């Protein structure tokens, strides 16, 4: 049975019909999508559509295909987060091309990666999440079956690539691990489980244990569980989101990570230090925390994103315009909570 997404009234929302009236102050509740926010999302999507490669991918077109899978997964998720389904609406064909690009580049062992990509697991995780979020929407029966088969293989690859510590590293089967790759795998596995793809419970348990082992006494999460050192705000935001995504709202590890975010996640201090990455996961964590913390954090972040969008509709930052624009669109679209991966 195909799953039902909460897309009622979507076309009207994206056209500005039924959107909450913007208060005179220009701020408004973080739970509302403001008219100028809708416009920024539309301009960001238009820029992404214009910059999609002919083969359906985004990103580097060099012979190594560096980061193209990761960029395609993120850009595809950006369209989905704003309610753009494959095969429907102004960008449906773009989303479908991205799906087919990911499917075409899945290796025999299940890894979704371009040949010779030395850091393939990030892209594998983002692509797995993207494909899972498309499964059961308005895909043709033929494409839906291909996506299911791809996800089944992808989960098996992720399961095999898990280290003895419970995490993952930049390439499969390296018997090493670090936080950012681990987080992409956990989110991808959860997206697959949401649509009925079998995910070994032990794999998820070990992954969550890895996040626990990476946590410092102050609640922050460091780069790897295998070594000491200080925590990073970026990985703490991502780790907190993963813990809550897995239902650990009341665990001691989640509570400590949440308190760390409340103390440290100040938007002005994230600029220049994995800014977009930090706030991509920060918004996912903070919307689940809710209340005044969410209102204050998201209001500040939204204001900054709306003021920093380029005239051509893109955003720029530490990784590149495709990456930053895709993440900015997802952050601004998050209050819609269309994607199951962004829901409680």
pLDDT tens digits, residue range 256-265? 999 999 988 8
Percentage of the chain modeled with pLDDT above 70 = 88
Whole-number pLDDT of residue 6: 34
115 located within any domain: yes
19 located within any domain: no
9 located within any domain: no
As a whole number of angstroms, the distance between CA 242 and CA 32 comes to: 24
Whole-number pLDDT of residue 2: 41
DSSP per-residue codes, 219-242: S-B-S-TTS----BHHHHHHHHHH
246 located within any domain: yes
Q: How does pLDDT run across 94-138, given as a tens digit for each residue?
A: 999 999 999 999 999 999 999 878 889 999 999 999 999 999 888
- The CA angle 127-134-7, to the nearest 5 degrees, is 135
SS3 192: helix
As a whole number of angstroms, the distance between CA 320 and CA 42 comes to: 19
Whole-number pLDDT of residue 4: 40
Give whole-number Cα distances, 234 to 225, 311, 314, in Å.
15, 28, 22
23 located within any domain: no
* Contact of 112 with 128, CB cutoff 8 Å: yes
pLDDT at 203 over 80: yes
pLDDT at 189 over 50: yes
Could you give the number of structural domains in the chain?
1
- The CA angle 300-14-267, to the nearest 5 degrees, is 15
Quickly state the pLDDT bin for 274 (edges 50, 70, 90). confident
39-42: long-range contacts (C-beta < 8 A, 24 or more apart)? Answer: 40/305, 40/306, 40/309, 40/332, 41/14, 41/82, 41/329, 41/332, 41/333, 42/14
* CA 323 to the chain's CA centroid: 11
2 located within any domain: no
More confident residue, 25 or 60: 60
197 located within any domain: yes
DSSP per-residue codes, 17-49: TTPPPPPTTS---TTS--HHHHHHHHHHHHHHH
Domain containing 322 — which CATH number?
A: 1.50.10.20
Q: What is the mean pLDDT of residues 4-29?
A: 38
**pTM of the model as a whole:** 0.90
Q: Running DSSP on this structure, what letter comes out for residue 168?
A: B
Whole-number pLDDT of residue 253: 95
Range of the domain at 201: 33-342
Whole-number pLDDT of residue 22: 39
27 located within any domain: no
């Amino acid at each position: 049975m195909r799953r039902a997404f909460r897309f009622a009234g979507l076309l009207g929302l994206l056209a500005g019909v039924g959107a909450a009236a913007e208060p005179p102050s220009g701020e408004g509740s973080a739970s509302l999508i403001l008219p100028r926010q809708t416009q920024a999302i539309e301009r960001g999507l238009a820029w992404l559509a214009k910059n999609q490669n002919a083969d359906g991918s985004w990103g580097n077109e060099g012979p190594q295909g560096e980061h193209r899978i990761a960029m395609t997964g993120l850009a595809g998720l950006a369209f989905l987060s704003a309610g753009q389904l494959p095969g429907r609406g102004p960008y449906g064909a773009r989303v479908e091309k991205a799906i087919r690009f990911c499917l075409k580049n899945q290796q025999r062992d299940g890894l979704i990666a371009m040949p010779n990509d030395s850091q393939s697991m990030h892209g594998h995780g983002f692509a797995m999440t993207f494909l899972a979020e498309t499964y059961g929407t308005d895909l043709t029966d033929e494409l839906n079956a291909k996506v299911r088969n791809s996800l089944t293989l992808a989960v098996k690859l992720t399961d095999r690539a898990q280290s003895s510590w419970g995490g993952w590293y930049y390439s499969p089967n390296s018997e090493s691990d670090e936080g950012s790759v681990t987080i992409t795998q956990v989110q991808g596995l959860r997206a697959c489980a949401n649509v009925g793809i079998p995910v070994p419970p032990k794999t998820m348990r070990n992954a969550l244990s890895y996040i626990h082992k990476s946590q410092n006494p102050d609640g922050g999460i460091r780069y790897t569980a295998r070594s000491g050192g200080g925590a990073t705000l970026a990985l703490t935001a991502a780790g907190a989101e993963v813990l809550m995504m897995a239902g650990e709202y009341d665990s001691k590890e989640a509570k400590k990570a949440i308190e760390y975010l409340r103390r440290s996640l100040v938007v002005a201090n994230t600029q220049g230090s994995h800014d977009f990455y930090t706030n991509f996961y920060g918004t996912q964590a903070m919307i689940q925390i809710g209340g005044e913390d969410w209102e204050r954090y998201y209001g500040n972040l939204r204001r900054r994103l709306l003021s920093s969008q380029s005239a051509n509709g893109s955003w720029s930052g530490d990784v590149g315009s495709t990456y930053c624009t895709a993440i900015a669109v997802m952050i601004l679209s998050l209050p819609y909570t269309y994607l199951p991966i962004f829901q409680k």
